[in-house]
Structure 1
């Protein structure tokens, strides 16, 4: 039986090669619309150019989820499919994937398709996608239902944090109160936030410096019960800060497995210049 791990492009894994047998990884690109120009969030996207055009555009830009047809084509690629989407409160990606699943199962009821609403973006999706592969590699005889039960447990026991230095896109899109975003920009305050159930950024706390921001991240991870599991740090052209955060995490949890990667288009759109997205499980 063949397997596929599929995510939308809010997951920043690119070129991921699963280690479990008979398993592939694919992603469905979202689109970002800027002043009538569409940018497809795939391997060929020039993320720096996208960010430049979004910053120069005074009106709100927008994103569009993968179509039902795009999801359906990916779902036909294997007998057993685990799909992971950006938060259903941020995008229609989850809904489109559900519609595609129903359509493909009408064609072939013997397939297995399970869709995970990550309730996040960025690093948490990467954690979930890799964990599907690791679980199957460690449990080669696991049934589809056992794999889906495990990944649901992991989703519940993992979270995402956003460390932001710029807030223009979030305020334009209504993801953050305009007054809070304008004040934070003016005072050059870093904001640590997480994904709320309403699809906005829920502020955990402000920080005047990167050092203070990292202290808040470590304190939040400890409060969540993190004890050294996987951490994914996605950055918007800010690898140095990601590496410094990695060192700070290792100071408290030497055995933590930290992976750093650049943000694709969709996550760069939300995290903005110098932003970090941190996903972790415990």
Structure 2
């Protein structure tokens, strides 16, 4: 039986090759609309150019989820499909995936398709995809129900943190309180946030320096019960800060394994320049 691990492009894995046998990884692209032009968040996207266009655009910009057809195309890739979407409270991606699942199952009821609402974006989705791949590698005879039970448990015991220097796009799109975004931009301070249990962005507080911000991140990870393991750090043209954070995490937890990835279009659009998105579990 073949497996397909599918995510939308809020997962910043590009060109990922699963280790598990008979398993593929694919992603469904979100889109960013700027000045009447649509940018597809795929491997060909020039993220730097997108960011320049967004910064220069005076009119409203927006994002759009993958279409039902795009999800359906990917769901036809294997006998067993696990799909992971950006938080259902941040995008219509989850609902589009649900509709696509129903269409594909009407075509062929023998397929197995399970959709996970990550209640997050960025690093948490990467954590879930890699955890799935590892589980399938270590348990090649696992049933579909065993795999879905496993990934639901991982989703419940993992989260994401956002360390942002600019909040304009998030505030405009209603993804965070406008007052908090305006205040943070005006004072030129970093803001730490996390995904709430409902999947929206919850502001944890400001940090006036990178050192203070990293202390807050380590504190949040400690409170969550992180004891080492995989950490995914996504960055928007801020690799040095991602490397510094990875070193700080390793100093606190020597068994931690940090993977640093550049943000694709969707995550760059919302995290904006210098932003970091950190996914981890416990």
Which TM-score band applies after superposition, normalised by the shorter structure?
A: over 0.9
Which digits, 9 at most, give the CA deviation of each residue in 1:243-263, with x for residues without a partner?
Answer: 000000001101101100000
8 Å Cα contact 2:83/2:116 also seen in 1: yes
Of stretches 49-58 and 212-221 in structure 1, the one that deviates more from structure 2 is: 49-58
Residue 25 of structure 2 corresponds to residue 37 of structure 1: no
Which secondary structure state, in structure 2, belongs to the residue aligned with residue 179 of structure 1?
helix
Distance 1:200 1:133 in 2: 27
Matches of residues 74-85 of structure 1 in structure 2 within 5 Å?
A: 74-85=74-85
Q: Is the 8 A contact 1:191 1:204 kept in 2?
A: yes
Q: Deviations over 1:2-48 (max 9, x none)?
A: 11000000000001000000000000000100111100000000001
Report the counterpart of residue 21 of structure 1 in structure 2: 21
Report the counterpart of residue 165 of structure 1 in structure 2.
Answer: 165
For 1:207, the equivalent position in structure 2 comes to 207
Q: Deviation of residue 197 (structure 1)? A: 4.9
CA distance in 2, matches of 1:198, 1:58: 32
- Listed one character per residue, the Cα deviations across residues 30-85 of structure 1 (whole Å, up to 9, x for unaligned) are 01001111000000000011111111123331111111111111100100000000
The equivalent residue for 2:113 is: 113
Question: Are the aligned partners of 1:190 and 1:206 in contact in 2 as well (CA < 8 Å)?
Answer: yes
Q: Look up the match of 1:142.
A: 142
Which residue of 1 is the match for residue 94 of structure 2? 94
Alignment of 1:119-138 (within 5 A): 119-138=119-138
Q: Deviations over 1:62-110 (max 9, x none)?
A: 1111111111111001000000000000110000000110111111111
- Once residues 34 and 91 of structure 1 are traced to their aligned partners in structure 2, the CA distance between those partners, rounded to angstroms, is 17
TM-score (norm 1): 0.98
Counterpart in the other structure of 2:55: 55
Q: Unaligned regions of 5+ residues in structure 2, if any? A: none
Equivalent pair of 1:89/1:197 in contact (CA under 8 Å):
no
Q: Check the 8 A contact 1:20/1:137 in 2, yes or no.
A: yes
Matched with 2:2 is 2
Give the CA deviation at 1:198.
5.5
Gaps of 5+ in 1: none
Structure 2 counterpart of 1:46:
46
RMSD (Å) for aligned C-alpha atoms: 1.0
Distance 1:61 1:153 in 2: 36
- Distance in 2, Cα, partners of 1:274 & 1:126: 20
Write the distance in 2 (CA, Å) between the matches of 1:133 and 1:93. Answer: 22
8 Å CA contact retained: 2:119, 2:200: no
Check conservation: 1:175, 1:199, Cα contact below 8 A.
no
TM-score by length of structure 2 reads 0.98
Moved more, 195-204 or 211-220: 195-204
Residues 231, 257 of structure 1: 8 Å contact kept? yes
1:200 is displaced (CA, Å) by 3.9
SS at match of 1:78: coil
Whole-angstrom CA distance in 2 between matches of 1:228 and 1:246: 12
